A and B are shown apart, each in its own frame.
Chain A
């Protein structure tokens, strides 16, 4: 059964006389912002708490694992290690939780057993730039190319450009590791255009030199291209479909009746509205950068967070895993905040949607 629209919203939304609607601009939506901030803080707290408990629910701790791999460590040394990792069994779970929060607050993520007891923060800091640089750039490029391409394909619906859609969609359904391995076999092994893996050549010393920058670009090009090729389809299809919906809107016909040039109608009227749902997907995909990095970095032996996380998991290096997980959570949250901001800038309707 249906109900008719409430008369109350009629009063607010439609008004009945031209003088009644009030000017609603330049008002900061504090309530909206406050709710979002509270939401993010809660999510962060929940993630940190889960992050604390999960390793403790697993069987056998990291030190047992470490002992199994490194013979000849005395029981005293093992206890000292436990204390260092915050796993000493004479403290209650609640106390451990307090210690953990305290450490986090000081930016201390513990030490990584698999990296010679280096602080976890340092290990992550070493890996993160590679991931953000490679996969972040690839995601942004893929989003931009896919969205612009999808806008054009949607605008010229029925033309030969439509053939692009099945092709890109097919590429995005092929498992990524397969595309990656094929690209390596064709362009790196057979043709020898690109190096096979790693972020830079073995003989190169990292530094702010032209030579090093060239190495990084040469090594990054192939993984970057494969990621763009594999993820383009989603953006393109999403944008094209949204364009088709928007093109049926009256304001498009109005824009054409106004005699506006096609370019203006396409970008300022159609694409400008069609891109809004894309922004939200984009925020989500930024959050998945670190997670998605695992396969890419494995295939290309790229020294980023994904490979680090995989190695840490295989070695049951809990401190490092927790640190990695925290980075993922922070990435997702930051991406969502950015998407909120972008959405508020791009869609005036959200700016006052507090009621």
Chain B
């Protein structure tokens, strides 16, 4: 559990606008092989910028003024992500780290079938596969996430929110990556669908053994699914610890504030009315 998978050191992101904004400041963080790392914080705290930044997915005016990101691959080699050439980076993306995005609707291309959007991952990363092999792989993925092969020719707008999110998870699993970054994957969903998707993710993790970085503002949710949790505020990680420690022994003032933002569902009421 303590074998590192991704090491981020003194990583910063700045938006070079008229008034420069330091969105991420000197963040150091290690994702271990096999763990679920929760990244919690409010909107604008830099959690998404951090997750996109380490994969070099940010667009101008974002710049990375400093830090290092090292990938410790399963085959034993270390990769400096910030030094990869454009082609090497493209080959690295999705193969090693994939993502599940927040808005499942807007994350899918509205004019292409879900089958085509799953298949193009194979087309690009596994050029040796024949068309029949690709189709078989897409069918398998749709079955794995319980959407069903019949949906292969459906367009995104024909599917429910929960199904679209399953498609995104299927897409993330396509190349059997070692790390899946999930950015608010369940926020737009109803609580029952959210729970369904979480169970799905847990089951898939048991089957495929990938690590997860789970980004959300929903701390109670994170406490249930994470091994460790990093609390972010104003571009910095103010506290990082195991989930039980964050819950029972929060050290930072802000962690306590965040925890108190969520009333307990079943505990005695703290305030009587």
Contacts and interface: CB of A to CB of B under 8 A. Distances in A.
Consider the complex of A and B and state whether they touch directly, i.e. have CB atoms less than 8 Å apart: yes
Interface of A: 13-18, 20-21, 23-25, 158, 249-251, 253-261, 264, 268-269, 272-273, 276, 346-349, 352
A347 B147 CA distance: 23
A255 B111 CA distance: 14
From B92, B94, B125, name the one whose CB has the most chain A CB atoms within 10 angstroms.
B94
Given A258-B120, A264-B120, A20 B160 contact: yes
Contacts of A158: 60
Interface of B: 52, 55, 57, 60, 89-95, 98-99, 101-103, 106-113, 120-121, 124-125, 146-147, 150-151, 153-155, 157-163, 166, 171, 190, 192-193, 196
Given A18-B193, A23-B150, 17 more contacts: A13-B160, A15-B160, A15-B162, A16-B160, A16-B192, A18-B196, A23-B151, A24-B158, A250-B106, A253-B101, A255-B109, A257-B57, A258-B93, A259-B124, A264-B120, A347-B111, A348-B110
Nearest to B181: A257
Contacts of B166: 18
A238 B249 CA distance: 57
Contacts of B113: 348
A348 to B, nearest CB: 4
11 contacts: A18-B163, A18-B196, A21-B159, A23-B158, A251-B110, A257-B93, A258-B171, A259-B94, A260-B120, A268-B120, A346-B111
A272 B111 contact: yes
A71 B245 CA distance: 109
Contacts of B121: 258-259
A25 B111 contact: no
A258 B102 CA distance: 15
Contacts of B90: 259-261
Contacts of A251: 106-110
From A18, A25, A268, name the one whose CB has the most chain B CB atoms within 10 angstroms.
A18
Contacts of A18: 146-147, 160, 162-163, 166, 193, 196
A335 to B, nearest CB: 22
A21 B158 contact: yes
Contacts of B111: 272-273, 276, 346-348
Nearest to B166: A18
A254 B172 CA distance: 10
Contacts of A250: 101-103, 106-107
Contact of B109 (A13, A14, A273, A346): A273
A273 B109 CA distance: 8
A264 B127 CA distance: 14
B160 A21 contact: yes
Contacts of B98: 257-258
A346 B112 CA distance: 9
Contacts of A15: 160-163
Nearest to B97: A257
A15 B157 CA distance: 12
A24 B155 CA distance: 9
A260 B193 CA distance: 30
Nearest to B190: A16
A244 to B, nearest CB: 12
A268 B112 contact: yes
A21 B101 CA distance: 21
A273 B111 CA distance: 7
A152 to B, nearest CB: 17
From A20, A257, A352, name the one whose CB has the most chain B CB atoms within 10 angstroms.
A257
B203 to A, nearest CB: 14
Contacts of A257: 55, 57, 93-94, 98-99
From A14, A25, A158, name the one whose CB has the most chain B CB atoms within 10 angstroms.
A14
A22 to B, nearest CB: 9
A349 B155 CA distance: 8
A347 B109 CA distance: 11
Nearest to B113: A348
A208 to B, nearest CB: 43
Given A16-B190, A249-B106, A349-B110, A23 B101 contact: no
A10 to B, nearest CB: 9
A273 B106 CA distance: 12
A133 to B, nearest CB: 33
Given A17-B193, A259-B92, A273 B110 contact: yes
